[in-house]
């Protein structure tokens, strides 16, 4: 059987004369498209529950029966109208790239809405397979779909599937291979009434010769011209006479002469879809019955409870991450690095007869420097896992819906919540994610706010200082830092929206998907995608930065190894900058140098501090820090870390998305001023406050 299948496949490939196939994966947001992409390719692709996660297409390689298949994961969209960036990316791929087969994935629990895109894809005239996903949820609801009848009415291959399960992937791929050269039996003319079909047929006759250069059907082009699609009009290079004839036929239907033709076409599609669904879909639940999703939403989207529930969940996540559980695993990692790994390597180097500088480089530089960052790896893993559970379950889409009303007050739509939330993970994808915002004003305003959303790279710095100065109030201190970042971001929005970024607010539409339990595979891929960047930085950027910092603090300008750090090259540079931070409370040259290293990667602040402050070998890093900072100056330092200029990668993303050196400069200067002012205010105010109370802060 296997040999027969392979022979058939080779025959098909021979017919199309290709060594590999291009399959385009396309569907609505939250239809399970990216989950299927993960199953097919095994690529570590981010899976989220809101529109806009995949702004650009992603690709992955699948080898099936000795054949290479390139799976293209296109952005989640609702139609092929070229208005949003996602729709433009998808439409351009289908029109201008060599696509052998379209795999249209549909949420079977919401089939009516999903079929709108399907009707447009069928009209393209390309080979297509429709995957009805989430059939397990459909059956749990008690609903039924007549797959055979649906296949007959649509005229395209149908395959029911639950993408989070692997058992039906191979049969699905068999169907896609069989459908490669199969022409669609879809009777797309049933979409429109007789008078519109006549007009479309006439438009087809006009463009028939011009359309030979296009790789899509005449009918799709005719529908787009009927809807006055400017891009298609330019693509076909029509003469003035041909355009006049098309306008004549378009206006020949008197009832719709002065009506938006796109709305007319949309109404025809939905009438067609409703007719099909009435014959093929059987709903079990009546309108009066509530699903589990409805019951949960009555609480989490409640007018009065929504925000408190969201805040309570965030506080719970912080408590688990920075409370007893997170600290236990962090202490274990710290003990292993400092007391087992470092001492073992030091003893080994002594046995090998290594020189003093070599032992200092490896133990004091690399192991203690990079190890100081790695010791926070368990806490970062916990934080990412908990956030991923909320995202994969469907709750984060509700959070965006909840925040829409609040964001409106600062001049943004709820859609901006998506990149803002991503900013708590990493600023780079968050800034790139602003492409989902249609308004240029919203995009710039959101980019200005994102760096104040405390990214995960800053978390090791907070953990290092709260462990040293606030061991009994870690959750409260770190929560206050995160909240301060949000407050500064809100102030930024108010400041810019009322001055140089005035403009009309954009509308907000967001789908709320069904709640579901995250699968272990998707959860692990999601968490690993975030942790991978952290580990790569630790193994590359941080090692290099640590070695450079060790060298600069160990040698003077004549390249002699110094016994006193204050005589080193690094100290000279740090002392030049230190006076700038006198009002902030940390005018120590070592703190200044740590901030400079943070421009490479925020985790470098920890590794640099571990190298510079570990002067007393018998003391821990926390005890060494306590010799140079007070509790107030430590908190002020954390505030500066929170607000100052992000890493070089984030600055590059800002430059790319702002598309303006002036706006990039404005962002950098504003972040530095905000960081210095807030840090100085915190230090001076807290010092004054505790002095008035007669409380001595060490």
* DSSP sequence for 553-620: HHB-TT-PBPSSGGGSHHHHHHHHHGGGGTTTT---HHHHHHHHHTTT-TTHHHHHHHHHHTTSTTS-
Model pLDDT, residue 561: 80
Are 216 and 160 in a shared domain? no
pLDDT at res. 615: 65
Do 221 and 139 belong to one domain? no
Q: Under DSSP, is residue 69 helix (H, G, I), strand (E, B) or coil?
A: strand
Q: Are residues 113 and 221 in the same domain?
A: no
Check if the beta carbon of residue 122 is closer than 8 Å to that of residue 176. no
What confidence score (pLDDT) does residue 16 get?
A: 45
Phi and psi at residue 20, in whole multiples of 5°?
-145, 165
The answer to the question of residue 543 being in a domain is yes
In angstroms, rounded to a whole number, what is the distance separating the alpha carbons of residues 606 and 638?
A: 12
> In 87-111, which positions are buried (b, 16+ CB within 10 angstroms) versus exposed (e)?
bbbbbebbbeeebbbbbbbbbbbbb
531 and 672 in a single domain? The answer is: yes
- Token pair recorded at residue 606: 């920890």
Cβ neighbors of 139 (< 8 A, separation 6 or more) are: none
Instruction: Provide the 10 A C-beta neighbour count for residue 190.
Output: 14
Blockwise average pLDDT, block size 10, the chain, 698 residues: 45 52 88 82 49 57 83 85 72 84 91 90 90 85 88 90 79 88 64 86 86 76 86 83 87 64 84 90 67 83 85 84 82 83 86 81 75 76 83 79 76 76 77 72 88 87 89 87 91 84 60 77 76 71 75 82 80 88 89 85 82 72 85 94 87 83 91 95 91 68
Distance, first Cα to last Cα, the chain: 78
Instruction: Please tell me the predicted confidence (pLDDT) of residue 113.
Output: 86
No. of helices (H) and no. of strands (E), the chain: 34, 8
Give the range of the structural domain holding residue 660, as residue numbers without chain letter.
309-502+520-693
Q: What is the CATH number of the domain that holds 126?
A: 3.40.50.300
CA distance readout (Å), 289 to 109, 276, 285, 326: 16, 24, 6, 42
Give the total number of structural domains in the chain.
3
Contact 565, 571 (CB under 8 A): yes
118 and 14: one domain? yes
Angle at 418 between CA 414 and CA 424, to 5 degrees: 125
What's residue 213's pLDDT?
A: 63
- Rounded Cα distance between 144 and 285, Å, is 11
Domain ends where: 139, 160, 186?
Answer: 186
Strand partners, 23: 71, 101
Please name the residues in contact with 225: beta carbons below 8 A apart, sequence gap of 6 or more: 203, 207, 232, 233, 236, 246
The neighbour count for residue 502, using CB atoms within 10 Å, is: 10
Closest-CA residue to 179 (of 252, 100, 246): 100
Is 109 within a domain? yes
Q: Contact at 8 Å (CB) between 204 and 224?
A: no
- Note whether 483 and 596 are same-domain residues: yes
Whether residue 266 lies inside any domain: the answer is no
Domain identity same for 539 and 684: yes
| CA-closest candidate to residue 442, choices 397, 509, 508, 391 | 508
Whether 228 and 359 map to the same domain: the answer is no
229 and 169, same domain (yes or no): no
Residue 299 counted as domain residue: no
In angstroms, the CA 249 to CA 204 distance is: 11
254 and 117 assigned to the same domain: no
681 within some domain: yes
Q: Is residue 326 part of a domain?
A: yes
Task: Give the Cα separation of 540 and 607 in Å (integer).
Answer: 13
Q: 609: closest CA among 584, 630, 637?
A: 637
34 and 46 in contact (C-beta within 8 Å)?
yes
Phi, psi of 325 (to 5 degrees): -65, -55
Q: Which has the closest alpha carbon to 26: 85, 68, 69, 89?
A: 89
pLDDT at 597: 82
pLDDT, position 17: 46
Give every CB contact of residue 620 below 8 A, 6+ residues apart in sequence: 338
Residue 80 and residue 23 share a domain: yes
Last residue of some domain: 186, 208, 241? 186
**Among residues 186, 214, 241, which one ends one of the domains?**
186
Q: Is 301 exposed, middle or buried (0-12, 13-18, 19+ CB in 10 A)?
A: middle
Distance CA 563, CA 555 (A): 9
Specify if 276 maps to a domain: no
- Residue 52's CB is within 10 A of a number of other CB atoms, namely 22
Kindly state whether residues 86 and 208 are assigned to the same domain: no
In a domain, 267, yes or no: no
Strands 101-107, 20-27: pairing kind: parallel
> For residue 661, how many other CB atoms are within 10 A of its CB?
9
Distance CA 394, CA 134 (A): 14
The one-character DSSP state at 78 is: S
């Amino acid at each position: 059987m296997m040999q027969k299948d392979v022979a058939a496949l080779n025959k098909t490939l021979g017919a199309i004369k290709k060594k590999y196939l291009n399959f385009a994966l396309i569907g609505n947001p939250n239809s399970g498209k990216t989950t299927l992409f993960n199953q097919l390719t095994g690529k570590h692709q981010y899976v989220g529950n809101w529109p806009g996660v995949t702004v650009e297409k992603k690709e992955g390689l699948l080898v099936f029966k000795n054949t290479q298949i390139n799976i293209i994961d296109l952005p989640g969209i609702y139609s092929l109208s070229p208005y949003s960036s996602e729709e433009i990316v998808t439409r351009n791929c289908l029109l201008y790239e060599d696509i052998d087969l379209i795999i249209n994935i549909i949420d079977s629990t919401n089939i009516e809405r999903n079929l709108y895109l399907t009707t447009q894809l069928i009209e393209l005239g390309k080979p297509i397979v429709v995957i009805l996903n989430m059939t397990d949820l459909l059956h749990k609801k008690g609903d039924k779909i007549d797959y055979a009848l649906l296949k007959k009415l649509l005229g395209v291959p149908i395959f029911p599937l639950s993408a989070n399960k692997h058992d039906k992937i191979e049969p699905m791929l068999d169907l896609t291979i069989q459908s490669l050269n199969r022409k669609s039996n879809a009777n797309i003319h049933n979409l429109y009434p007789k008078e519109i079909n006549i007009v479309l047929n006439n438009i087809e006759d006009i463009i028939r010769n011009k359309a030979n250069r296009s790789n899509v059907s005449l009918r799709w082009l005719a529908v787009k011209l009927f809807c006055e699609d400017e891009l298609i009009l330019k693509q076909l290079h029509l003469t003035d006479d041909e355009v006049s004839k098309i306008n004549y036929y378009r206006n020949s239907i008197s009832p719709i002469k002065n009506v938006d033709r796109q709305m007319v076409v949309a109404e025809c599609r939905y009438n067609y879809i409703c007719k099909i669904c009435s014959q093929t879909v059987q709903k079990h639940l009546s309108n009066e019955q509530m699903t589990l999703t409805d019951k949960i939403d009555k609480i989490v989207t409640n007018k009065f409870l929504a925000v408190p529930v969201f805040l309570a969940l965030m506080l719970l996540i912080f408590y688990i991450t920075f409370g007893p559980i997170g600290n236990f695993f962090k202490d274990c990692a710290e003990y292993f690095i400092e007391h087992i790994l470092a001492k073992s390597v030091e003893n080994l180097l002594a046995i090998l007869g290594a020189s003093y500088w070599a032992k200092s480089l490896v133990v004091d530089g690399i192991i203690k420097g990079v190890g100081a960052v790695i010791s926070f790896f368990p806490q970062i893993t916990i934080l990412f896992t908990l956030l991923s559970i909320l995202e994969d379950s469907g709750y984060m889409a509700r959070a965006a819906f909840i925040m829409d009303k609040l964001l409106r007050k600062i001049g943004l739509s709820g859609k901006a919540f998506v990149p803002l939330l991503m900013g708590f993970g990493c600023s780079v994808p968050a800034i790139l994610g602003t492409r989902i915002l249609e308004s240029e004003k919203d995009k710039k305003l959101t980019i200005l706010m994102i760096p104040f959303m405390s990214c995960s790279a800053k978390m090791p710095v907070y953990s290092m200082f709260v462990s040293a100065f606030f061991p009994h109030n870690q959750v409260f201190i770190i929560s206050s830092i995160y909240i301060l970042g949000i407050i500064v971001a809100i102030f930024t929005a108010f400041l810019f929206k009322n001055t140089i970024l005035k403009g009309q607010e954009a509308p907000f539409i967001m789908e709320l998907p069904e709640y579901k339990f995250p699968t272990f595979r998707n959860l692990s891929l999601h968490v690993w995608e975030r942790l991978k960047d952290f580990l790569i930085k630790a193994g590359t950027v941080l090692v290099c930065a640590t070695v450079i910092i060790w060298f600069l603090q160990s040698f003077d300008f004549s390249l002699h190894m110094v016994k006193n750090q204050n005589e080193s090259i690094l100290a000279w540079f740090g002392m030049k900058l230190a006076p700038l931070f006198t009002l902030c409370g940390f005018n120590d040259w070592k703190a200044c140098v740590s901030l400079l290293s943070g421009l490479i990667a925020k985790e470098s602040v920890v590794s640099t501090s571990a190298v510079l402050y570990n002067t007393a070998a018998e003391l821990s890093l926390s005890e060494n820090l306590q010799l140079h900072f007070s509790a107030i100056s430590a908190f002020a330092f954390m505030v500066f870390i929170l607000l100052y200029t992000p890493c070089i990668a984030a600055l590059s993303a800002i430059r790319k998305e702002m598309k303006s050196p002036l706006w990039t400069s404005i962002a950098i200067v504003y972040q530095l001023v905000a960081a210095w002012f807030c840090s100085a205010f915190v230090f001076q105010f807290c010092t004054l406050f505790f002095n008035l109370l007669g409380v001595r802060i060490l």
